[in-house]
Amino acid sequence: MAERFPEKPAVIMSGSGRTVTYRELDEASNRLAQVFHEAGLRPGEHIAFMLENRWEFFAVAWAAQRSGLYYTAISTRLTADEAGYIVGNCEARAFVTAASLAGVAGQITEGNERLVLKLMLDGAAEGFSSYEEAVAAAPAAPLEKQVEGMDMLYSSGTTGRPKGIKPANDFNPFGTPGVLFHLIQFLFAPDEHSVYLSPAPLYHAAPLRYTMTFQRFGATVIVMEKFDAEKALSLIQEHRVTHSQWVPTMFIRLLKLPAEVRAAYDVSSLKYAVHAAAPCPIPVKQQMIEWWGPVVHEYYAGTEGNCFMYVNSEDWLAHPGTVGKPVLGEIHVLDEAGEELPAGETGVLYFDKGPEFVYHGDPAKTESSRDPKGRGWTTLGDIGHVDADGFLYLTDRQSHMIISGGVNIYPQEAENLLAVHPKVADVAVFGVPDPEMGEQVKAVVQPMSMADAGEELAAELIAHCRDNLAHYKCPKSVDFREELPRHPTGKLLKRVLRDEYAERSQA
């Protein structure tokens, strides 16, 4: 794209306003690719980087992508122990970070003898070389041989250590489109006139992959340093955003803005508002379609890349709650014995005819993702069913299931109900230990106002659930917090809450 649109903005940072052209991005990534090569890194080897949302994130990612390297973007919210494990486990030979993360970065890399290159932006701490100096000294010419690299991202670690998801790489010549490129081209029709808004942290799979793919089309990518609902609306209006990607939590926060604030911004430029990553409560999506029009598109997929379900607004309105039909992969719904279930019956979702993947260095985890009858089908650990028209509906994560008195309860139903209650800002529903029933259903709520927190609101929320769900699916008790643990991506960290309550029960 640098040859076609050298002075076109490739990245605009929404907070600072820093604009980076395709020529600048191409040159920066070429120089860093040369630095990697000079350090001895060759196709198939690995780098890791930990950066906040900033334009250099793309320079690092594209440098690895054009060098045939595997690259792992690491959450800036991880502890040194968590991030250090990932850097070691992925066998990184280079690590890139920034001075704002110097404290944790030093701990991450301490004693890691595999690392031959450690670069730091904005001033180098002890043990690191200056990113700026290394890049400035390198030639801006492309590597003599450029081949496509691959990201290798890590699961969120719902149980135990996170797992690196390693896709197969054929090391095609740099510029060869991959599967995601063709999917995005087919579904969302981007081109050099597109403007893509990315409101989430770039280290997350979808923001990383979609922003880079849109850059392959020559689009301008607007990056938010941190999500803010009203700021997102202002960016859509200011930059005439055509494409964007969201998670349901962001939709909920947008909808909870005052009506006059929502009405103050022109969002008519939006052609595709894509959402994924978590189930979206039906009322939330209905309200978003009413507000933004039939531009709301949903997909269901995983970092593993083994499937891709898709649904547009029209089909969703005809099948409320669906996450779509297969565009990549074939669905199989299995019972506990591995037998296929008919339409309408709920079971574990497995997928066939999608790309292969393994969990790096963990053959047991890889094996557990395959179907029990050895047919080569793979699962992301989700529960759901397919209707008579072939549309998929998610029930919950397998790991989130509550077993109370021998009955399986999927907390997503109660969570979706409570999320749209006018007095609820955020909510988590999960199982906590119960001496008689094994587990009981617990809700932890962030109220719109902490002044409302107390027994009266708890009773109101439980009654709200019982008016709409079977009583056994509803919370037995409600606790209140000023904030729930979430990734900046919007993903709810139920594991943190479950672990806390499990420890309490043992105290």
Please give, one letter per residue, the 3-state secondary structure of 237-261: HHHCCCEEEECHHHHHHHHCCCHHH
Asked if residue 389 has pLDDT above 90, the reply is: yes
Q: How many CA atoms lie within 13 A of 362 on its CB side?
A: 19
pLDDT of residue 233: 98
Q: What is the pLDDT of residues 60-78, one digit of tens each?
A: 999 999 999 999 999 898 8
Distance of CA 392 to the CA centre of its chain: 20
Asked if residue 490 has pLDDT above 90, the reply is: no
Neighbours of 330 (CB within 10 A): 12
Q: What is the pLDDT of residues 103-125, one digit of tens each?
A: 999 999 998 999 999 999 999 99
Q: What is the pLDDT of residues 223-243, one digit of tens each?
A: 999 999 999 999 999 999 999
pLDDT of residue 340: 94
Residue 27 DSSP SS3: helix
Q: How far apart are CA 199 and CA 227, in angstroms?
A: 5
What is the 3-state secondary structure of 368-422?
Answer: HCECCCCCCCECCCEEEEECCCCCEEEEEEHHHCEEECCEEECCHHHHHHHHCCC
Q: How confident is the model at residue 399 (pLDDT cuts 50, 70, 90)?
A: low
Q: Average pLDDT, stretch 322-333? A: 94
Q: Which residue has 């670690």 as its token pair? A: 157
pLDDT of residue 158: 44
Instruction: Name the strands in the sheet holding 46-49, side by side, starting at the edge strand that comes first in the sequence.
Output: 129-130, 117-121, 94-98, 46-49, 70-73, 150-151
Asked if residue 304 has pLDDT above 80, the reply is: yes
Which secondary-structure segment (H or E) carries 210?
helix 205-216
**Comparing 11-15, 136-140, 208-212, 408-412, which segment has the lowest mean pLDDT?**
408-412
Q: What is the pLDDT of residues 420-452, one digit of tens each?
A: 899 999 999 998 888 777 789 999 999 999 999
**Which spans in 222-376 are helix H?**
229-239, 248-255, 259-263, 282-292, 313-318, 363-368
In whole angstroms, how far apart are CA 20 and each of 26, 106, 192?
10, 29, 15
In whole angstroms, how far apart are CA 214 and each of 105, 189, 204, 244?
30, 10, 16, 11
Asked if residue 286 has pLDDT above 80, the reply is: yes
Q: Average pLDDT, stretch 175-187? A: 94
Q: How far apart are CA 107 and CA 126, in angstroms?
A: 11
- The two tokens of residue 241 are 């955003």
Domains recognised in the chain with CATH numbers: 9-176 (3.40.50.12780), 178-303 (3.40.50.980), 331-399 (2.30.38.10), 401-506 (3.30.300.30)
DSSP one-letter code for 425: E
In whole angstroms, how far apart are CA 238 and each of 85, 241, 264?
41, 8, 12
Could you tell me which residues are beta bridge partners of residue 495?
Answer: none
Q: How confident is the model at residue 160 (pLDDT cuts 50, 70, 90)?
A: low
Asked if residue 418 has pLDDT above 50, the reply is: yes
Q: What is the C-alpha radius of gyration for the chain, rounded to an integer number of angstroms?
A: 23
The answer to whether 195 touches 239, Cβ cutoff 8 Å, is yes
Q: Average pLDDT, stretch 309-325? A: 96
Could you tell me which residues are beta bridge partners of residue 310?
Answer: 299, 325
Q: What is the pLDDT of residues 336-369, one digit of tens each?
A: 889 999 999 999 999 998 888 888 888 888 888 8
Q: How confident is the model at residue 85 (pLDDT cuts 50, 70, 90)?
A: very high
Q: How far apart are CA 28 and CA 18, in angstroms?
A: 15
